C-alpha cells in the first residue's frame, strides 16, 4: 500500500520508494542487483518490497529498467 493508515509510514512503498530514488539520484544507470544492495545498506528491505518500489517509480514515470539497469527518466 502506498500510504497506509494502519502501519508505520516507514513500512510503506511510498517511503521505501523514496529511499530507492535517493540512491538512483546519486547513481542513475545502476545494475538492478547493485541498486538493491545499496538500498539495503540504508534500510533493511525485502526484495519483493524493493520490486514494488521500482514498480511504483515506473508507474510514476520516475525510473525505468533497461537491459537490467535502472535509470531515471528524463
Using one digit for the tens of pLDDT, what is the confidence trace for 53-65? 999 999 999 999 9
Task: Indicate the pairing of strand 69-72 with strand 63-66.
Answer: antiparallel
Q: Across the chain, what does the average pLDDT equal?
A: 90
Q: How far apart are CA 56 and CA 7, in angstroms?
A: 19
The three three-digit cell numbers of residue 16, written as one number: 521505501
Confidence of residue 40 (pLDDT cuts 50, 70, 90): very high
Amino acid at each position: 500500500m502506498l500510504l497506509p493508515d494502519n502501519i508505520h509510514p516507514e513500512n510503506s512503498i511510498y517511503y521505501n520508494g523514496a529511499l530507492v530514488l535517493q540512491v538512483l539520484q546519486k547513481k542513475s544507470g545502476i545494475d538492478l542487483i547493485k541498486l538493491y544492495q545499496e538500498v539495503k545498506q540504508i534500510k533493511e528491505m525485502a526484495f519483493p518490497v524493493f520490486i514494488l518500489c521500482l514498480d511504483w517509480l515506473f508507474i510514476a514515470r520516475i525510473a525505468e529498467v533497461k537491459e537490467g539497469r535502472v535509470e531515471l527518466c528524463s
